[in-house]
Amino acid sequence: MAASPIDLKKCAVHTRTNKPWSLRQCCEAYAKRGIGGVSVWDDAYAGIGVAEARRIIDGTGLGVPALVRGGFFTSLDERVRTESLDHNRKLLDDAAVIGADMLVLVVGATPGLSLADARAQVIDGISRLLPHAEQTGVKLAIEPLHPMYADNKSCINRITEARSVADALDHPLLGLALDVYHIWWDPDLDDEITSVGADGRIFGFHVCDWKLDTNNLLTDRGLMGDGVIDVRGIRSKVESAGFHGWNEVEVFSERYWAMDQDAYLDLIVERLGSCT
Ligand code: ZN
């Protein structure tokens, strides 16, 4: 099935994508171009407070798909795990004030802890966090990360592992955020998207691209059309699986951060139309 034309009103940009800009600059520029939403990284409101962040966002009329990012449930030290849970509860409170639909979870991985033990800690952590998600009404979205991050960022690297956590906890507020950067290579991608969609657990969809000449695994992402990912094809699959939420642009790139951010945002809008 061909992807439907992209609707800017159903597109959002992560504040980290325009890292040089303040939250206000991001929101005003997105709204001016007809983009419908902003996904907020917590550093975007660190200096102004969450209530002021809400006022800024409301003033521009943008929707907020996600607060980014919570998680990091794993540690060899139980005290650290407890502190992490407290931090996640605070992030859920912040998400509720901002009006974010979901808190994105990068679940964590810890050198010296087996991936299997780490996954058990993730299930334990999310199960302890769910009551607070219920209180705030904010969803939790596990984001599987590319296996290159299995050392210290995420012990959940494929959709199937994230799905098994969601199955184990089976809660309506728990689902997945699918980021093309992390999932495009998965040999089971089509079936996995179909399965997670059938369960109604695709909460978020993040777009960017994997550059052929990537020189930094964290801060050299491509914009849609810069690389090898069939972003439009994956969007089509996700929509066929029943997802009709936001297309969130999430690009970390020293190269693009060095650009004039208005010109860069014009390019983002162009690529949303031509390559997403
Ligand atoms: Zn993402």
Question: Is position 21 within any domain?
Answer: no
Please indicate, yes or no, if residue 24 is contained in any of the structural domains. no
User: What distance in angstroms lies between residue 249's CA and the mean position of ligand 1's atoms?
Assistant: 8
Contact yes or no for 71/102 (Cβ under 8 A): no
Determine the distance separating the centroid of ligand 1 and the alpha carbon of 44, expressed in angstroms.
16
User: How many A from CA of 143 to the centre of ligand 1?
Assistant: 7
- Output the pLDDT for position 120: 98
Residue 1: per-residue pLDDT: 57
* Alpha carbon of 178 to ligand 1 centroid (Å): 7
Residues near 139 by beta carbon (within 8 Å), at least 6 away in sequence:
101, 102, 103, 133, 173, 174, 175, 203
* Within-domain flag for 46: yes
CA of 252 to the centre of ligand 1 (A): 10
pLDDT class for 48, splitting at 50, 70, 90? very high
Q: How far is the CA of 175 from the centre of ligand 1 (A)?
A: 14
- Is 15 inside a domain boundary? no
102 located within any domain: yes
Q: What's the confidence (pLDDT) of residue 3?
A: 75
Residues 256-261 have a mean pLDDT of: 98
Q: pLDDT tens digits, residue range 185-212?
A: 999 999 999 999 999 999 999 999 999 9
For the cut 60, the answer to whether the pLDDT of residue 258 exceeds it is yes
CA of 207 to the centre of ligand 1 (A): 8
Using the mean position of ligand 1's atoms as its centre, give its distance from the Cα of residue 39 in Å.
10
Give the CATH number for residue 226. 3.20.20.150
Q: Is residue 10 part of a domain?
A: no
Instruction: Tell me the CA–centroid distance for residue 50 and ligand 1, in Å.
Output: 22
Span 207-218, pLDDT tens digits? 999 999 999 989
Domain count, the chain: 1
- Residue 55, CA distances (Å) to 24, 25, 227 in order: 10, 13, 37
Q: Is residue 269 part of a domain?
A: yes
Give the Å distance between the CA of 229 and the centre of ligand 1: 14
Identity (one letter) of the amino acid at 191? Answer: D
Q: What is the pLDDT of residues 130-149, one digit of tens each?
A: 999 999 999 999 999 999 99
**CA atoms of 189 and 176, how far apart (whole Å):** 14
* Alpha carbon of 112 to ligand 1 centroid (Å): 26
- Is the predicted pLDDT of residue 124 greater than 80, yes or no? yes
Residue 86 included in any domain: yes
Residue 192: give the domain boundaries.
Answer: 30-275
Each as own residue / partner, the long-range contacts of residues 16-19 (CB below 8 Å, 24 or more positions apart, any chain) are 16/41, 16/43, 16/44, 16/68, 16/250, 16/252, 17/249, 17/250, 17/251, 17/252, 17/256, 17/268, 18/261, 18/264, 18/265, 19/252, 19/257
Ligand 1 centre to CA of 12 (Å) is 12
188 CA to centre of ligand 1 in angstroms: 19
Per-residue model confidence as pLDDT tens digits over 1-26: 567 889 999 999 999 999 999 999 99
**Amino acid letter, 272:** L
**pTM (2 d.p.):** 0.97
- Average pLDDT over the chain reads 97
